[in-house]
Structure 1
Amino acid sequence: MDAAEDLDTLGEKLYTLIYPKHKENAGKLTGMLLELPGPVLTQMVQDKATLTAGVEKALRALQLAQEPSKVPRKDDDDVSVSSDSLGEQLFELVDVYNTGHSQKITGMLLEQHQEVVLNLLSDPKLLEEQVKSAMKTLKELSLEETDISDASDADDTEKLGEKIFSLVEELDPLHANDITGMLLEMEPAALQQLLSDPTMLEVAVQKAQAALDTPNQTLCTAQEEQSNILHTD
């Protein structure tokens, strides 16, 4: 309810600011701007330059929607409508929504059949639905990429752990688990160096053994000592 009241308040403020210069279209322009996120609307109310930019974008979108004769049609003499021209017009309309992903969304919409794209240029409601759908898709893709990245990092660490353990086990079978755990606190780059340099690995294992043999030394201190192994040379 508070959110609805806030939106109504913002709408009234926007209308008051827009009306003096755009009396005829003040209602429509305000309605179009109210589709934008709340923080953007607040900024428009507070910042004249932001409001002017938003109103100009909305005006261009409104003009294109009201003058379908300017929108190329499939049965025009130019059967192959320039994709650049369509892209520019579509971008202007998509950019009104201030999603922060205007180029990506425009590219996604342009992948559809030309007839569908032409419909988007002349039907603001349809365009709004597809922009929201495209934003949802982009968010889902972003989440998937994050999940894949996290899984990949986990896999890499696990593989490094297995390799380190197999080498440490040859040097100290009794404490292989503890020593491997300590070494895995080091940076991945340092671990790679241990894997490629047997001497360095042996020194690291010896330091870990010394840490384990010292009753009063905590595991944390031992791990800190291990992280400095590469700097002893």
Structure 2
Amino acid sequence: MDEEEDLETLGEQLYSRIYPKHKETAGKLTGMLLELPGPVLSQMLQDEAMLTAAVEKALRALQLPEEPSKVTCNDEDDGSVSSDSLGEQLFELVDVYNTGHSEKITGMLLEQHKEAVLNLLSDPKLLEEQVNLALKTVKEQNVEETDVSDSSDTDDTERLGEKLFSLVEEMDPLHANDITGMLLEMDPAALQQVLSDHAMLEVAVQKAQAALDT
């Protein structure tokens, strides 16, 4: 009972916020938004921008059913339109979560069977679980990409180089550039150690100086 009462209260609050701008469709829009999970609705009521975005998405979704009838030519078209509109509807719902990865997550969810996708559209709790799972996967992929990507390695090397140069310059201003270049050829893990241990750095610089003298 409590959940139903909460939903009723949320519905009333939503309706009163939506009605001034969308008098004719306020009831429909409220009904659509009420399919979203409770926490998301509560957040919307506190965040005007989020509410406006959700209302606009719901408005677009309301207009979607009219479009296939204009496009319909044959059965094949019906199939493609329905899967397209499925994707659009799913994207609208996923986008409400403001994950920053709506397109990617929608794409991942659309890889499931059509029945599973329809279930997601009708079951907000299931959708929330799937969105969270997909978001976790996306974040893990991003971390892996960051580890592997050359650009981040280049950035790290640049940062290490700058830090190393400033330390080497204090010991040997004349050959700081050459010595830094030589030390940067070391294994990154060894380089980190040298940077955090001044005695090791001194030894490494002395070796580099000896190599330069020969």
Larger of the two Rg values belongs to structure: 1
Which interval holds the TM-score relative to the shorter structure? Answer: 0.3 to 0.5
TM-score between both structures, scaled by the size of structure 1: 0.44
In the superposition, the TM-score normalised over structure 2's length comes to 0.47
